[in-house]
Chains A and B, each alone.
Chain A
Amino acid sequence: MIQWLRSGSSVEESLFSQADSSAVLLLFDPQKQKVAVETIADHYSSAFVFNNTDEGFYNLFYLTEKVHNDTLLIACASREILNHSCRNGHAKELKYIPYKTFADAIPMQIVRERTKADDLHYFVTSGEFVTFRALYDGKPAEGVKMTLVSQKGWKKVLFTDDEGIASFEIIQDYFTNWNVFDVKKIHNYLLIAEKTFTETGIHQQKAFTHIKYVTTYSEAYLPAKTNYMSFVWGLIVFFITVIASSIAVYVYRNRRNVLKKHNYELPSKY
């Protein structure tokens, strides 16, 4: 069972499901304080509503536990939700924002390694290498199967190294026709981390011999700037304008070679 948390409410781009009644929903504000979440459910979907008053990343986790065959499946869907508006000022704009760990709240967590450019305006773009770290009990987890799935279904599987790290190159798997001016479209990817441990126990009166952790992390990305910004065309327009306007000034000056008198008189001493 793969769970995917999405922010926003686009019907076009999202599948909806009802929240599991036994699921645990945890939300932490940028100061790692727990925040109350209201669940609004109907026949088709569940939405989680909360007040995001502080600037920074909110961390949302949706946890379910189920025994299937002889395996206890602990699934955790996670999402970092950025609260920032340029209209509120940019006091923290240039501040590097490290990821936060929640070992006490969730058993296995995926975090995105930050770069120096990771301020409140940072956005992953296609073509970039993004590094993820799998943490188990707050420590790097080796050998975790990491699967990156793009919105169109492209997949890439890697296993974490001894530091719990796996790096993926984010690809752009969607393209518009050349004559369609809507290329700067936000798409999503989903990262799934899976790890199984041999451990026996009983959960809700059902015995299990293995525990499988499945943690998902979803984030959005933009196409690379080179896909929709042309430096060459910028230079072409620049030089054509320089040449055309220079010729225009030259021609205008030659035609209008008359010095207009000022309407005040100069004293004789000048």
Chain B
Amino acid sequence: MYSRNITMNYLQNIKHKADRANVSRLRFWIQLFTFLLIVYGGYFFIHIGSQVPTFACPYNQGSPGTCYLIAMQHGLHLTWSELVSYRGLAFFTGFLTFIGFFIVFNKAWCGFICPLGTLQDWITKLRYKIGIRFSRYDSASFQKLKKIKYVILVLLIAIPLGMSNSFFGLAPINHDMQSPFCQVCPGRTILPLASADTSQIFIDFTNKTTLVMSTLGILITALFFVGAFAKKRFFCFFCPMSALQFLFSRIGILRLTKNGSNCTRCGNCNRVCDVGIIGIAEDITSKYIVKDDCMMCFKCVEACPEDNCLDVRVFNAKIFSSTQEGFFKRYIQPNELSLKNEKNDER
């Protein structure tokens, strides 16, 4: 009983320190490490498989793995009969591997590991240093635009299936549309650039389909840079990986929960949210607060001044909670990025 009390006290002390910690600073270093791992890991013979739930782009020579979106598009290039054969089984096992990867970190794959997300965060830091303001969507635009990623996800699934099958008596889709999302994904063009590989910056004049898709790919790459400079995590709002992850985020081991009874609706959580999720401030009834655009960066937990209003949990054990003490330690200090600065920066 005595030793149990000592253990409990020890764990409480660790938890107390964690609640006061600057998670954003820790996140910066984790992002730097994972960026190097995901972009250059392949050069060091690291291999993490073909079902990685983030943009580990195989078009980048140094990638240690393959983004699940490309594996899914390849895997769905099946006829209906193939889908129920061993090929379908291969797709299903690949999907289970993706889920196995995903449930460990849940949507923190976006906030802590995604190299495209990290790049956007670095562009945001550059913009902030230069002193250019950033934009946010208003509530109505937010609700409309957030649906785009689901449309992209549906197309990403339907097009490979449409290449092998006939829908509504129509002819199968042109094979040049294979891996359609990869053809327009900014990860394909940008991540190889990190290894000084410019081979993906091209317009493909093979035929009309490749001409349109490759032009679209370059357009989206350009918009990625301009958008990330004008709005935090601009691309994440349209990312089909984010949509796919959200469908399974409930089974994630890592969880973000909210105790609505402690919420004063101060709006701090929304204000610091890079994606600008309004629901996290407004929703005081849901316990499980991860929204589809959430990337689990936990800035909201850091910025919440109410004790135990927002919690990060592993299963049901709290590992990081919002506390008044932690809030004041993090934000009300000189030389720190204050909420006041965040607010002034916003238009």
CB 8 Å contact bits of A214-229 with B (1 = contact, 0 = none) = 0000000000000011
Shortest Cβ gap from B303 to chain A (Å): 11
Let me know if A270 and B215 touch, CB within 8 A. Answer: no
Shortest Cβ gap from A76 to chain B (Å): 34
Q: Quick one: given A86-B74, A87-B87, are A262 and B267 in contact (CB under 8 Å)?
A: yes
What is the CA–CA distance of A89 and B50 in the complex, to the nearest angstrom? 8
* Interface check B347, CB cutoff 8 A: yes
Let me know if A241 and B206 touch, CB within 8 A. Answer: no
Q: Which of B220-228, B237-245, B287-295 contacts A (4 or more CB under 8 A)?
A: B220-228
Partner of B204, one of A86, A89, A229, A235: A229
Let me know if A90 and B87 touch, CB within 8 A. Answer: no
Q: How many residues of A contact B (CB 8 A)?
A: 35
* A residues 96-112 touching B (CB-CB < 8 Å): none
Let me know if B339 and A270 touch, CB within 8 A. Answer: yes
Let me know if B87 and A181 touch, CB within 8 A. Answer: no
* Interface check B266, CB cutoff 8 A: yes
The chain B residue with its CB closest to the CB of A252 is: B135
* Interface check B236, CB cutoff 8 A: no
Partner of A230, one of B66, B203, B222, B270: B203
What is the CA–CA distance of A235 and B266 in the complex, to the nearest angstrom? 46
Which residues of B sit under 8 angstroms from A259, Cβ to Cβ? 346-347
Let me know if A264 and B267 touch, CB within 8 A. Answer: yes
CB 8 Å contact bits of A240-257 with B (1 = contact, 0 = none) = 011001100100010001
What is the CA–CA distance of A238 and B138 in the complex, to the nearest angstrom? 28
Q: Quick one: given A87-B78, A87-B87, are A228 and B206 in contact (CB under 8 Å)?
A: yes
Q: Quick one: given A228-B204, A234-B203, A234-B218, are A181 and B211 in contact (CB under 8 Å)?
A: yes
Which residues of B sit under 8 angstroms from A242, Cβ to Cβ? 222, 225-226
Which residues of B sit under 8 angstroms from A253, Cβ to Cβ? 133, 135, 347
* Interface check A265, CB cutoff 8 A: yes
* Interface check A266, CB cutoff 8 A: yes
* Interface check A44, CB cutoff 8 A: no
24 contacts between A and B (CB under 8 A): A87-B75, A89-B50, A89-B90, A89-B94, A184-B206, A184-B210, A228-B205, A229-B202, A229-B203, A230-B203, A231-B201, A237-B203, A237-B218, A238-B218, A238-B221, A242-B222, A249-B135, A253-B347, A262-B271, A262-B281, A264-B270, A264-B281, A267-B264, A270-B268
Which residues of B sit under 8 angstroms from A235, Cβ to Cβ? 201
* Interface check B3, CB cutoff 8 A: no
Partner of A234, one of B66, B90, B94, B201: B201
* Interface check A183, CB cutoff 8 A: yes
Q: Quick one: given A87-B75, A245-B222, A267-B264, are A237 and B205 in contact (CB under 8 Å)?
A: no
- Give the 9 A-B CB pairs with smallest separation, nearest first: A241-B222, A233-B203, A184-B206, A234-B201, A229-B202, A181-B207, A245-B226, A234-B202, A264-B267
Let me know if B206 and A238 touch, CB within 8 A. Answer: no
Which residues of A sit under 8 angstroms from B222, Cβ to Cβ? 237-239, 241-242, 245
List 19 additional contacts besides A228-B204, A260-B138; criterion CB under 8 Å: A86-B74, A87-B75, A89-B90, A181-B211, A184-B206, A228-B205, A229-B205, A231-B198, A234-B203, A237-B222, A238-B218, A242-B222, A242-B225, A245-B226, A245-B227, A259-B347, A262-B278, A266-B267, A270-B266
Q: Quick one: given A231-B198, A259-B347, are A181 and B206 in contact (CB under 8 Å)?
A: yes
Let me know if A230 and B266 touch, CB within 8 A. Answer: no
Let me know if A183 and B218 touch, CB within 8 A. Answer: no
What is the CA–CA distance of A239 and B203 in the complex, to the nearest angstrom? 13
Interface residues on B, range: 35 or more
Let me know if B207 and A184 touch, CB within 8 A. Answer: yes
What is the CA–CA distance of A234 and B201 in the complex, to the nearest angstrom? 5
* Interface check B265, CB cutoff 8 A: yes
* Interface check B30, CB cutoff 8 A: no
Which residues of A sit under 8 angstroms from B219, Cβ to Cβ? 237, 241
* B residues 171-226 touching A (CB-CB < 8 Å): 198, 201-208, 210-211, 214-215, 218-219, 221-223, 225-226
* Interface check B282, CB cutoff 8 A: yes
By a beta-carbon cutoff of 8 Å, the part of chain A in contact with chain B is 86-90, 181-184, 228-231, 233-235, 237-239, 241-242, 245-246, 249, 253, 257, 259-260, 262-267, 270
What is the CA–CA distance of A69 and B133 in the complex, to the nearest angstrom? 90
Which residues of A sit under 8 angstroms from B214, Cβ to Cβ? 234
Partner of B215, one of A86, A87, A237, A249: A237
Which residues of B sit under 8 angstroms from A246, Cβ to Cβ? 226
Which residues of A sit under 8 angstroms from B211, Cβ to Cβ? 181
CB 8 Å contact bits of B246-275 with A (1 = contact, 0 = none) = 000000000000000000111110110000
Shortest Cβ gap from A234 to chain B (Å): 4
* Interface check B21, CB cutoff 8 A: no
Partner of B74, one of A87, A182, A184, A230: A87
* Interface check B13, CB cutoff 8 A: no
What is the CA–CA distance of A87 and B278 in the complex, to the nearest angstrom? 41
Shortest Cβ gap from A191 to chain B (Å): 27
The chain B residue with its CB closest to the CB of A185 is: B206
Which residues of B sit under 8 angstroms from A229, Cβ to Cβ? 202-206
What is the CA–CA distance of A86 and B87 in the complex, to the nearest angstrom? 11
The chain A residue with its CB closest to the CB of B215 is: A237
Let me know if B265 and A264 touch, CB within 8 A. Answer: yes
* Interface check B230, CB cutoff 8 A: yes
What is the CA–CA distance of A151 and B282 in the complex, to the nearest angstrom? 69
* Interface check B77, CB cutoff 8 A: yes
Let me know if B347 and A183 touch, CB within 8 A. Answer: no
Shortest Cβ gap from A183 to chain B (Å): 6
The chain B residue with its CB closest to the CB of A231 is: B202
Which residues of B sit under 8 angstroms from A89, Cβ to Cβ? 50, 90, 94
